């Protein structure tokens, strides 16, 4: 890895890039994942590279939704495995969620490598290597899933997607939590809860809120009742617009 000096003004961002490149060299990240990350960086820059209060609102709602779920599942792709495997495992522990690897550019070899990375970080019973079900209406490889996992889940967390699976999962009656730095994406507009935040920041925030809300069912209900996805996304757009105005 390139040695990034801590004094560099964009240290955090460059460290994430290094993780992605290392994940790519290890066969975890798809080539296309590098492009997807660059797209995310651009939106993060417009947000001021910080977690906004709008993101925190969505993260609290996401924590409530996962705690209220009977069978929550966290779906993991190559980028997420390279960027924050430990955070995935912690969130699964805190919320009682299963973990399933679901890839767009799927190969069994890459699924096995991602499973191994998650296991190195303490995950047990990672699903995805032997899919035995399909998500209706998703013709890509990402439509493959496990009957014990995503197919029977009531809530699915899908970080860094394109929108087809989020829409298909909601047609199957499931609730979805999406993490996507692009507030305009089809994914953001089709998630039950849409979090516009960098994934390495979003997952620990959800875990913290889940710990805080664990024993408070009425607060979980209240958060979900009050959460308004479209108003939240509009507020995020306003933040971006404001930052663009400052640059001009």
Is residue 151 a contact point for ligand PTJ (CB under 6 A)?
no
Which window, 46-54, 66-74, 180-188, 224-232, contacts ligand PTJ (CB under 6 A)? 180-188
Is residue 104 a contact point for ligand PTJ (CB under 6 A)?
yes
- State in angstroms the smallest separation of the CB of 198 from ligand PTJ: 4
Is residue 105 a contact point for ligand PTJ (CB under 6 A)?
yes
Element housing 43 (H / E)? helix 31-46
Is residue 166 a contact point for ligand PTJ (CB under 6 A)?
no
Q: Contact, 182 vs 43, CB < 8 A? A: yes
- The token pair that represents 232 in the structure block: 């939240």
Is residue 186 a contact point for ligand PTJ (CB under 6 A)?
no
Element housing 236 (H / E)? helix 229-247
Task: Give the C-alpha separation, 239 to 29, whole Å.
Answer: 31
Q: In the set 199, 206, 213, 236, which binds ligand PTJ (CB under 6 A)?
A: 199
* Closest to 182 measured CA to CA, from 37, 32, 40, 13: 40
* Closest to 201 measured CA to CA, from 99, 95, 87: 87
DSSP 129: S
Is residue 37 classed as helix, strand or coil in its secondary structure?
A: helix
- State in angstroms the smallest separation of the CB of 77 from ligand PTJ: 3
- State in angstroms the smallest separation of the CB of 155 from ligand PTJ: 19
Q: In the set 23, 24, 43, 113, which binds ligand PTJ (CB under 6 A)?
A: 43
Task: Give the C-alpha separation, 50 to 121, whole Å.
Answer: 26
Task: Give the C-alpha separation, 54 to 75, whole Å.
Answer: 23
- State in angstroms the smallest separation of the CB of 39 from ligand PTJ: 4
Q: In the set 115, 176, 185, 192, which binds ligand PTJ (CB under 6 A)?
A: 185
Is residue 77 a contact point for ligand PTJ (CB under 6 A)?
yes
Task: Give the C-alpha separation, 156 to 142, whole Å.
Answer: 14
Nearest CB to ligand PTJ, comparing residues 120 and 214: 120
- Residues near ligand PTJ (CB under 6 A) are 30, 32-33, 36-37, 39-40, 43, 77-79, 83, 103-105, 160-162, 179-182, 185, 198-199
């Amino acid at each position: 890895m390139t040695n990034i000096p801590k004094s560099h003004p964009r240290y955090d961002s460059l460290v994430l890039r290094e993780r992605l490149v290392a994940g790519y060299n290890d066969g975890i990240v798809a080539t296309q994942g590098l492009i997807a990350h660059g797209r995310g960086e651009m939106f993060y820059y417009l947000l001021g590279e910080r977690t906004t209060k709008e993101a925190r609102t969505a993260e609290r709602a996401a924590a409530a939704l996962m705690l209220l779920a009977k069978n929550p599942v966290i779906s993991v792709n190559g980028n997420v495995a390279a960027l924050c495997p430990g955070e995935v495992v912690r969130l699964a522990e805190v919320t009682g969620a299963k973990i399933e690897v679901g890839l767009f550019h799927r190969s069994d070899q890459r699924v096995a490598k991602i499973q191994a990375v998650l296991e190195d970080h303490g995950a047990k019973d990672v699903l995805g290597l032997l899919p035995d079900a399909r998500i209706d209406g998703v013709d890509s490889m990402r439509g493959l899933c496990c009957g014990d996992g995503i197919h029977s889940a009531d809530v699915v967390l899908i970080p860094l997607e394109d929108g087809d699976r989020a829409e298909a999962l909601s047609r199957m009656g499931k609730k979805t939590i999406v993490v996507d730095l692009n507030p305009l994406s089809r994914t953001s507009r089709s998630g039950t809860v849409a979090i516009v935040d960098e994934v390495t920041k979003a997952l620990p925030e959800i875990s913290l809120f889940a710990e805080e809300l664990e024993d408070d069912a009425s607060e979980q209900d209240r958060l979900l009742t009050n959460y308004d996805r479209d108003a939240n996304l509009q507020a995020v757009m306003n933040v971006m617009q404001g930052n663009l105005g400052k640059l001009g």
